[in-house]
Every structure is written in structure tokens, then in C-alpha cells.
């Protein structure tokens, strides 16, 4: 499977050191790549380009880009927030070349000059603190201008590793990032600030790839998760999924999970409801409705989805304990995770399972499991996801913008499919059902989670492209869209 690596700061620094050992002129290449992108997207007849250059090497990239744009007859004005004598040698050389070519530097954005495009070269990946008031005011003015901005490497003010905003950050139309993707562009606040992301390896494609880097989750995982179905098929080949949930007032959650499991290909789906409910789902009569304890005792289950609408009663706890003792893959969501967070015995049962466990926490559930605050989880989503996967012995997805998937051995992925329309009730229930269906059909549990996360987001994207969302998009609408996306992409094999 073709994969795209995602690099944290130490990985990028290692690639930089390798490039220097090969005498690669990284700053010159970065500035040229930025200038070429700017020329390609500048509005028609645009001549004025504003360049913001900061006190570090990111500012050096900006000076190189400014030099190339000036040589292409653009009217380039550079606002420099550093001091030339404090620049590193490579950045100082870029500064000197800008001056040698007749360029000047300004202290503030000129008010009596028209510009159509800006380059943000204030801060790069090294920023790990809130911005000072001078840079904050400059970024606020840039954001308020309404003009398109190209961020160089990372939007200034955005943490390259976590996607956290340090007080304020540039809202770019595009970001050209160098040497490799950074997770901060893909998760938390990154997507709202980075815009369209362009990656330029600057000729370092042969650099060693660190073993502990992340991977960008792509559509290939869908085609790789399951083999094509033979013509000689029957429902027994595609597994039985049991769904456990549906306490009083929450039957819909279990039914959503069951419907998703059925429409994503499971051979049979049994939905076990804790509360008294209907004997048949009139919307999806193919589902087999049972009492919860009956589902757990059904022979031949291939996967159980535990948690949608489960509640946190003593009965729910007892059923979860029984489920954790079963020797079959489990998909744990919602109240199953909340119960595990509160009960040390359930926690031990979870971490000690021999059969595969998959989990789908949102940030608040992850915080309960990690005994910390939601803000702490969100401040470093990759760290939180990896820590939780190790603690639970489960492959999991930390839901939210830029879903972070992690395995117990430390491997991690970022998913970029999906959109704000998924901020509605029941989306997690649908995701859990999709993953359960893929496990039941024979996908390796890890691949089932990754592929389920990917296709669920694609379903929301497909619907939004058709005008069904993002406002008012419902969880139930994503089920058929996920089925369509799966069949479309799986057919590419």
C-alpha cells in the first residue's frame, strides 16, 4: 500500500541534518518553490505581493521567495520583524541577497499601497509559545485584510506538531510545507488555518524515513481491507455482528450501529437492546432484534460492537464485563468507554484481553480514560491517542478534526476525510457499526478501524459535495453514502 509519511519536529530536524550532509541548498529551494506557487495562484493582473519575514530561517525562506518574485517583475514589499545581525548564516545570506538586488525592508504593512497576495514567513515549525503582541497585531491585520495568504511551511502561530494555535495564527488560503507533512496542518485547528496544503520534499526523497513517523490515511486502505467477493457467496461468508446497547431512551444509537453494520456488508446483524423495545426495526427489518444478554450468548459471533446507547447502569456494567471476557473482536464506543474509565476491574479486563480490541473515543471520553482534562487531550492529540492505545491495548481512533488513529505499539495515522457536518448525534454509532462489519467480513482489526474511519469521512464529504450538508447532515444519511463510497473504491482493485 502506498503511504505518505507525516513528520513530527524531530523527524524534520533529522531530514534537515541529512540534507545538510548532502549539501542541499534547502532555503534556496524552499524560497523558489514558494515563489513558483505564488506566481501560479496570483490573481490576474496582480502585481503587489506582501511578504512577511520573521526573525528565523522561515524569514530566510521568505527573503528568497521575495527575490524570485521581484525578478519576475512583481511589486514586492517585505516587512521584516527581526534583526539582520541575529539571523543564522543561511538566512542572513538570503537577507543580504535581497538587499543586493535593490530590495528594502519595512517595519509595518504599508497603508498606501495595494497588494493582492501575501506570503507568511514569520515563524516555522520551531514556534512552541504564544506570540508576542507585535507579531499578534501583524497577524491580526493580515487575517483582517481579506486577501489570500500563502503560509511558508506552517501558518505562523500554529504548532506544527499538534495543530494548536498559540494565541493567534495566520489563516492561509494555502500552505506550502517542506520536507514532509506536519501533523499540525492536518488535525485540531490546523485545517482551519492551513487551507490547501502543498508538500515539497525539496529533493530529500532519499532521506531515511524515521520508523516512528506517522502515516497519512488514504483511500488505498479501503481497497486493501477486504478481498473482492467471489460469485459463489452466501451470508455465512460475511460474518455475524452483535450490537450491544440501546438503554432506555437510546435505542436509536444501537439501531444506527446495526444498520451501518448491515449496509457495510455484514452477513447478519443482531442488535441487543437493554431496554424493552420493538421486535422489528421497521426501517431496517433485516436486523435481528434481541435482548442484550441473548446477543452475548449467540454462538458464532464474529465481532461485537459494545456501547451505542449502552448507558452506565449496573446492568450495562455487567454486560460489558461479559463482553470483555469473550474471545472475539470488540468495537468499544461511547458508554462502554465511560464505564471502563470509571471501573478499575473493567479497565484490567480491557487491557488484558487476548482477542483484538478496537475503540472509538471522542476527546472527552479519551480524557476520562486518561484521567486528565479534555483540553489536555486536545493540546496534543497524537500523544494522547498513542498513550491511550498503549494503556488499553487497543487500536483506536481519537475522533475530531483530523482523526488520529493509533496502535498499541506506537504506530499512528491521521485521517483527513470528513467535515463539520459530522458534528451531529449518532455519527459515532454509525462509525462503530461500520468497523464491526469490516471485522466480521474478515478484515484485520487494525485495517478495519482505519478503513472504517476513512470511508465514514468520505461519506460525509460525498454528501456535502451534493449539497446534503454540512449544515443539517445526519448520521443516518452517512450510512448509504459510506456503502456507496466503499463499493466505488473497492472496485478499483
Residues 6+ apart with CB under 8 A from 383: none
The parts of the chain modelled with pLDDT lower than 70 are 1-2, 492-493
pLDDT of residue 1: 56
| Domains of the chain with bracketed CATH | 4-211 (3.40.50.10260), 220-490 (3.40.1190.20)
Contact of 122 with 59, CB cutoff 8 Å? yes
Cβ neighbors of 99 (< 8 A, separation 6 or more) are none
Element (H or E) spanning 18, and its range?
helix 9-21
pTM for this predicted structure: 0.95
Which stretches within 72-171 are classed as H helix?
89-100, 133-144
Task: Please report the pLDDT score of residue 2 as a whole number.
Answer: 66
Q: What is the 3-state secondary structure (H, E, C) of 401-425?
A: CCEEEECCCCCEEEECCCCHHHCCC
**pLDDT tens per residue, range 250-268:** 999 999 999 999 999 999 9
Rounded CA separation 34/22 (Å):
22
Report how far residue 224's alpha carbon sits from residue 388's, in angstroms, rounded to the nearest whole number: 26
* Rounded to 5°, angle at Cα 217 from 36 and 14: 60
CA distance 209 to 381: 22
Q: Tell me what pLDDT residue 132 has.
A: 93
Angle at 290 between CA 247 and CA 234, to 5 degrees: 130
Q: Are the C-beta atoms of residues 411 and 457 closer than 8 Å to each other?
A: no
State how beta strands 357-359 and 75-80 pair: unpaired
Q: Which three cell numbers stand for residue 406?
A: 493509533
Q: CA 327, CA 346: separation in Å to the nearest integer?
A: 15
Contact status, residue 400 vs residue 389, Cβ threshold 8 Å: no
CA distance 471 to 473: 6
Where do the DSSP E strands lie in 104-213? 105-106, 117-121, 149-152, 174-178, 196-200
Sign, CA torsion 163/168/172/178: negative
Average pLDDT score over the chain: 95
With left for phi above 0 and alpha for psi between -120 and 50, is residue 418 left, alpha or beta? left
Q: Tell me how far apart the alpha carbons of residues 382 and 277 are, in angstroms, rounded to a whole number.
A: 40
182-212 confidence digits (pLDDT tens)? 999 999 999 999 999 999 999 999 999 988 9
Pairing of β 48-53 and β 117-121: parallel
Distance (Å, whole) CA 60 – CA 30 = 9
Task: Compute the distance between CA of residue 122 and CA of residue 62 in angstroms, rounded to an integer.
Answer: 8
Cα separation, 215 vs 212, whole angstroms: 10
Q: How far apart are CA 199 and CA 180, in angstroms?
A: 6
Q: Do 405 and 389 contact (CB within 8 A), yes or no? A: no
Cα separation of 287 and 116, whole Å?
A: 58
| CA atoms in the 13 A half-sphere facing the CB of 280 | 5
Predicted local confidence at residue 118, as pLDDT = 97
Pairing of strands 303-306, 330-332: parallel
- Order of strands across the sheet that contains 149-152: 105-106, 75-80, 48-53, 117-121, 149-152, 174-178, 196-200
Residues 32 and 40 sit within 8 Å (Cβ to Cβ): no
DSSP-derived 3-state class of residue 128 = coil
310 upstream amide cis, omega within 30 of 0: no
Q: How many residues does the chain have?
A: 493
> Given this model, what pLDDT does residue 128 score?
86
Number of H helices, E strands in the chain: 18, 18
**C-alpha pair distances (Å), 221 with each of 185, 224, 283:** 21, 5, 31
What is the spatial order of strands in the sheet that 214-217 belongs to?
4-6, 214-217, 412-415, 403-406, 395-398, 357-359, 330-332, 303-306, 240-245, 268-273, 288-291
Amino acid at each position: 500500500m502506498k503511504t505518505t509519511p507525516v513528520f513530527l519536529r524531530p523527524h524534520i530536524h533529522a531530514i534537515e541534518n541529512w540534507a545538510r550532509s548532502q549539501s542541499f541548498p534547502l532555503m534556496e529551494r524552499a524560497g523558489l518553490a514558494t515563489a513558483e506557487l505564488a506566481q501560479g495562484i496570483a490573481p490576474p493582473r496582480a502585481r503587489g505581493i506582501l511578504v512577511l519575514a520573521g526573525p528565523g530561517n522561515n524569514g530566510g525562506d521568505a527573503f528568497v521567495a521575495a527575490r524570485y518574485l521581484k525578478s519576475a517583475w512583481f511589486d514586492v514589499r517585505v516587512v521584516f520583524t527581526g534583526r539582520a545581525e541575529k539571523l543564522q548564516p543561511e538566512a542572513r545570506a538570503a537577507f543580504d541577497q535581497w538587499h543586493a538586488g535593490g530590495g528594502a525592508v519595512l517595519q509595518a504593512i504599508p497603508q498606501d499601497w495595494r497588494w493582492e497576495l501575501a506570503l507568511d514567513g514569520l515563524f516555522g515549525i520551531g514556534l512552541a509559545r504564544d506570540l508576542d503582541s507585535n507579531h499578534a497585531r501583524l497577524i491580526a491585520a493580515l487575517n483582517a485584510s481579506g486577501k489570500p495568504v500563502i503560509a511558508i511551511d506552517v501558518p505562523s502561530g500554529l504548532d506544527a506538531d499538534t495543530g494548536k494555535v498559540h494565541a493567534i495564527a495566520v489563516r492561509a488560503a494555502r500552505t506550502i510545507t517542506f520536507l514532509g507533512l506536519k501533523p499540525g496542518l492536518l488535525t485540531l485547528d490546523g485545517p482551519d488555518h492551513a487551507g490547501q496544503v502543498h508538500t515539497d520534499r525539496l529533493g530529500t526523497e532519499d532521506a531515511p524515513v524515521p520508523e516512528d513517523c506517522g502515516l497519512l490515511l488514504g483511500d488505498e486502505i479501503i481497497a486493501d481491507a477486504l478481498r473482492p467477493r467471489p460469485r459463489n457467496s452466501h451470508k455465512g461468508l460475511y460474518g455475524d455482528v452483535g450490537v450491544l446497547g440501546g438503554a432506555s431512551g437510546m435505542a436509536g444509537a444501537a439501531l444506527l450501529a446495526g444498520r451501518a453494520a448491515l449496509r457495510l456488508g455484514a452477513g447478519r446483524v443482531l442488535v441487543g437492546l437493554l431496554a424493552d423495545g420493538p421486535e422489528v426495526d421497521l426501517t431496517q427489518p433485516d436486523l435481528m432484534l434481541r435482548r442484550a444478554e441473548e446477543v452475548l450468548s449467540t454462538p458464532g459471533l464474529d465481532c461485537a460492537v459494545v456501547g451505542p446507547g449502552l448507558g452506565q447502569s449496573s446492568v450495562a456494567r455487567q454486560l460489558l464485563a461479559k463482553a470483555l471476557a469473550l474471545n472475539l473482536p470488540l468495537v468499544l464506543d461511547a458508554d462502554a468507554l465511560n464505564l471502563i474509565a470509571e471501573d478499575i476491574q473493567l479497565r484490567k479486563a480491557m487491557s488484558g484481553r487476548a482477542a483484538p480490541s478496537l475503540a472509538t473515543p471522542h476527546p472527552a471520553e479519551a480524557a476520562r480514560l486518561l484521567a486528565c482534562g479534555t483540553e489536555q487531550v486536545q493540546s496534543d492529540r497524537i500523544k494522547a491517542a498513542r498513550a491511550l492505545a498503549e494503556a488499553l491495548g487497543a487500536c483506536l481512533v481519537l475522533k475530531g478534526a483530523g482523526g488520529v488513529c493509533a496502535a498499541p505499539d506506537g504506530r499512528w495515522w491521521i485521517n483527513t476525510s470528513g467535515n463539520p457536518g459530522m458534528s451531529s448525534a449518532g455519527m459515532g454509532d454509525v462509525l462503530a457499526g461500520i468497523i464491526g462489519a469490516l471485522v466480521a467480513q474478515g478484515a484485520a482489526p487494525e485495517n478495519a478501524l482505519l478503513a472504517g474511519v476513512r470511508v465514514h469521512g468520505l461519506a460525509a464529504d460525498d454528501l456535502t459535495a451534493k449539497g446534503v450538508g454540512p449544515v443539517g447532515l445526519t448520521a443516518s444519511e452517512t450510512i448509504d453514502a459510506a456503502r456507496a463510497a466503499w463499493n466505488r473504491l473497492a472496485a478499483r482493485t
